[in-house]
Chains A and B, each alone.
Chain A
Amino acid sequence: MNNIGLYIHVPFCLSKCPYCDFYSVKPEREATDGYKKAVIRNLKRYTQAFSDICFDTVYFGGGTPILLHEEICEILDIAGSHIAENAEITIEANPCITDADKLCSLKRFGVNRVSFGLQSANDNELKTLGRLHNAADGEWAVYLAQKAGIDNISADLMLGIPYQTQKSLDETLKAVISLPVSHISAYMLKIEPNTPFYNQKLVLPDENGYAELYLKTVNMLAENGFEQYEISNFAKENRLCRHNLKYWSCEAYIGIGPAAHSYFGGRRYYVTRDLTSFIKDEIQNEAISDDNVGGFDEWAMLKLRLTSGIDYKTAYEKYGIDRQTFEKKCRLIPKNMYISDENGIRLTPEGFLVSNTVIGILTDI
Chain B
Amino acid sequence: MTDKEYMHEIRNFCIIAHIDHGKSTLADRILEQTETVAQREMEEQILDNMDIERERGITIKARAVRLNYKADDGNMYVFNLIDTPGHVDFNYEVSRSLNACEGAILIVDASQGIEAQTLANTYLAIEQDLEIIPVINKIDLPSAHPDEVKEEIETVIGIPADEAPLVSAKMGTNIKDVMEQIVKNVPPPSGNPDAPLKALIFDSYYDAYKGVIVHVRVKDGTLRVGDRIRMMATGAEFDVVDLGYMGAKNLQNANELRAGEVGYIAASIKSIGDTKVGDTVTLADKPASEPLAGYRNVNPMVFSGIYPADGAKYTDLREALEKLRLNDASLSFEPETSIALGFGFRCGFLGLLHMEIIQERLEREYNLDLITTAPSVVYKITKTSGEVVYIDNPTNYPDPSEIEIAEEPMVMANIYTPSDYVGSIMDLCQERRGTFKDMKYLDLNRVELHYDLPLNEIVYDFFDALKSRTKGYASYDYELSGFSPSKLVKLDILLNGEIVDALSFVVHADKAYQRARRIAEKLKDNIPRQLFEVPIQAAVGGKIIARETVKAMRKDVLAKCYGGDITRKKKLLEKQKEGKKRMRQLGTVEVPQEAFMAVLKLDE
Contact = CB atoms under 8 A, between A and B. Distances in A.
Interface of A: 5, 7, 9, 22, 61, 187-188, 190, 207-208, 210-211, 214, 231-232, 244, 247, 253, 255, 259-263, 268, 270, 289-290, 297-298, 301-302, 331-334, 337, 352-361, 363-364
Contact of B557 (A255, A263, A334, A352): A352
B437 interface: no
A353 B566 contact: no
Given A232-B560, A247-B561, A333-B531, A353 B554 contact: yes
Given A232-B559, A354-B531, A208 B573 contact: no
B570 A356 contact: no
B32 to A, nearest CB: 45
A190 B560 contact: yes
Given A263-B564, A270-B567, 19 more contacts: A7-B564, A9-B563, A190-B558, A214-B555, A255-B563, A262-B564, A289-B565, A297-B570, A298-B570, A301-B569, A331-B588, A355-B558, A356-B572, A357-B531, A357-B556, A358-B531, A360-B573, A360-B577, A361-B531
A244 B561 contact: yes
B577 A354 contact: no
B532 interface: yes
Given A334-B531, A360-B577, A190 B566 contact: no
B209 interface: no
Contacts of B557: 188, 231, 352-356
A363 B576 CA distance: 11
Contact of A187 (B555, B560, B573): B560
B556 A208 contact: no
Nearest to B576: A360
Chain A, interface SS category:
mixed
B249 interface: no
A234 to B, nearest CB: 13
14 contacts: A5-B564, A7-B563, A22-B563, A207-B553, A207-B554, A208-B554, A231-B557, A259-B562, A260-B564, A298-B566, A337-B531, A356-B556, A356-B558, A357-B576
Nearest to A288: B567
A326 to B, nearest CB: 16
Contacts of B560: 187, 190, 232
B585 to A, nearest CB: 8
Contact of A247 (B531, B552, B564): B564
B556 to A, nearest CB: 4
Given A301-B569, A332-B588, A357 B553 contact: yes
Contacts of A354: 531, 553-557
Contacts of B566: 247, 261, 263, 268, 290, 298, 302
B184 interface: no
A253 B566 CA distance: 12
Contact of A364 (B531, B555, B558, B577): B577
Interface centre among B530, B559, B576 (most CB of A within 10 A): B559
Contact of B567 (A7, A210, A261): A261
Contacts of A255: 563-564
A255 B564 CA distance: 8
B511 interface: no
A31 B380 CA distance: 81
Given A261-B565, A263-B566, A188 B573 contact: no
A65 to B, nearest CB: 12
A359 B573 contact: yes
A292 to B, nearest CB: 8
Contacts of B554: 207-208, 210-211, 353-354
Contacts of A331: 588
5 tightest A-B contacts by CB? A289-B567, A207-B554, A211-B554, A261-B564, A356-B556
Interface string B174-192: 0000000000000000000
A360 B570 contact: no
B580 interface: yes
A29 to B, nearest CB: 24
